[in-house]
Amino acid sequence: MHTDSVTRLSPPVGYGGLAIALVVASILSLSSGAYPVAVGQIIDMALRGFSDDTTARFVVLDVRVPRLLLGALTGAVLAVSGALLQGLFRNPLADPGLIGVSSGAALAAVAVIVLGGSGLAGWSQFAGQWALPLAAFAGGTMTTLIAWKIAHQQGQTSVALLLLAGIAINAIAGAGTGLLTYYADDSALRSLTFWSMGSLAHARWADLWVAGPWMVATLLIAPLLARPLDAFLMGEPVAGHLGYSTNWVKRGAVLLAALGVGAAVAVTGLIGFVGLVVPHLLRQLFGAGHRLLLPACALGGSALLVLADCLARVVVAPAELPIGLVMALLGGPFFLFLLMRHRFA
């Protein structure tokens, strides 16, 4: 974690800017999309208490609002989890995928998609439309738990071992996903391709009620870890000497990231780069201290994902781009730019 020559923002200016970005993104999100609904029309409808039963009302209340909320929560959770793990691993390249959440969720989701009609038919029957999100959530948290168990020896958790275990488990889960993909028929293949590119397009209120509480909990609890994580930046022994229970910090950060990201991935599919780029970028503006960084990541992650979702739905309207694809298209080159700038600075 290096201190940059970039001028740090004063917190009020920084938070203000991010909040404005989020509000602008939200207004854009409510008023943009394939179905034409102007901002004035929304205000009009709101003033009349959304009493008339029109398609415009349906589009705004049942399509765009849940989509906006899910996008904002997902963006916030991904960015905050990224910041937690980057702090824990003391590595700006860490992201929620590192501890196996994404690959575990992907393995479970692909298993449901491919085997839903055969090997896992019982589960699909039992859980109905929730078969995939529940499996993905379980898969994501379980893989993280396994990585944790491997790294946790004699009452101590080695961060380096956690990282390596995560990499190994990612490889195994990836192989499992690959094997299932090989056996997938044409329709399953298309479905899993779309799932792995992430989408907010199918967000409903029901998804929000199920996944939302986990994500909100992650966002509310994460700030408690800010001070201990700051101490972690000086090294684990220092944090211990400062009186923090390092095991609890590690457990908390991993658990929060697993639950929050697991819930997000379960309903949106895989969305990359938010967890990597947002904390990385905001650290340069707000400094490495987590007390400022974590709330900034929540705001910045929300604004970025909501904005990317606006793009996803208008670029090829009336069709839609998967948002994971949009994030990778925007995030990849941007991240490269950041790296190059350091390289030649």
Partner 1 sequence: MRLNRIHRTTALLILWAIATVAQTAPRVISADGAITETIVALGASEQLVGVDTTSHHPPDVVDDLPRVGYLRALPLEGILSLEPTHLITTEEAGPEKTLERVEKAGVDVTQLPVARTPKQTIRRIRRVGALVDRSDQAATLAQRLSEDIQRIRNQMASKQSARVLVLLAAGNHGVMLAGKNTAANALLESLGLTNALDHVSGYKPASRESFLAAAPDAVIIAEASPGQFKPKEWPALTRLPAWQSGQHLTENAMFLLGFGPRLADAMAALASVVPEREATAHAH
Q: How far is the CB of 134 from partner 1 (least distance, A)?
A: 15
Which residues, 6 or more positions from 329, have their beta carbon under 8 angstroms from its beta carbon?
none
Give helix 246-268 / helix 205-221 axis angle, nearest 10°: 160
Q: How far is the CB of 309 from partner 1 (least distance, A)?
A: 12
Looking at the Cβ atoms of 191 and 284, the one nearer to partner 1 is 191
Q: How far is the CB of 330 from partner 1 (least distance, A)?
A: 20
CA distances from residue 203 to 65, 87, 206 in whole angstroms, order as listed: 9, 31, 8
Q: How far is the CB of 322 from partner 1 (least distance, A)?
A: 8
Q: Give the Cα-Cα-Cα angle 338, 343, 344 (nearest 5 degrees).
A: 105
Looking at the Cβ atoms of 56 and 255, the one nearer to partner 1 is 56
Looking at the Cβ atoms of 262 and 322, the one nearer to partner 1 is 322
Distance in angstroms (rounded) separating the CA atoms of residues 188 and 185: 5
Q: Scanning the structure block, which residue is given the tokens 């905050």? A: 80
Q: How far is the CB of 36 from partner 1 (least distance, A)?
A: 7
Q: How far is the CB of 102 from partner 1 (least distance, A)?
A: 20
Give contact residues for partner 1 (rule: CB under 8 A).
33-36, 55, 58-59, 62-64, 129, 185-187, 190-191, 194, 199, 201-202, 204, 313, 316-320, 322
Distance in angstroms (rounded) separating the CA atoms of residues 324 and 148: 27
Pairing verdict, β 152-153 and 156-157: antiparallel
Looking at the Cβ atoms of 56 and 221, the one nearer to partner 1 is 56
Looking at the Cβ atoms of 102 and 124, the one nearer to partner 1 is 124
Looking at the Cβ atoms of 7 and 55, the one nearer to partner 1 is 55
Distance in angstroms (rounded) separating the CA atoms of residues 133 and 129: 8
Q: How far is the CB of 73 from partner 1 (least distance, A)?
A: 19
Please tell me whether the peptide bond between 133 and the residue prior to it is cis, using omega within 30 degrees of 0: no
Q: Where are the alpha helices (DSSP H) in the chain?
A: 11-31, 39-47, 55-57, 65-89, 101-115, 121-127, 131-151, 159-183, 186-196, 205-221, 226-232, 236-241, 246-268, 274-286, 290-314, 323-344
Looking at the Cβ atoms of 15 and 130, the one nearer to partner 1 is 130
Distance in angstroms (rounded) separating the CA atoms of residues 316 and 299: 27
Q: How far is the CB of 182 from partner 1 (least distance, A)?
A: 8
Looking at the Cβ atoms of 236 and 309, the one nearer to partner 1 is 309
Contact 109, 136 (CB under 8 A): yes
Q: Which amino acid is at 141?
A: T
Looking at the Cβ atoms of 152 and 202, the one nearer to partner 1 is 202
> The tokens of 326 are what?
């949009």
Q: How far is the CB of 283 from partner 1 (least distance, A)?
A: 36
Q: Scanning the structure block, which residue is given the tokens 């989020």? A: 22
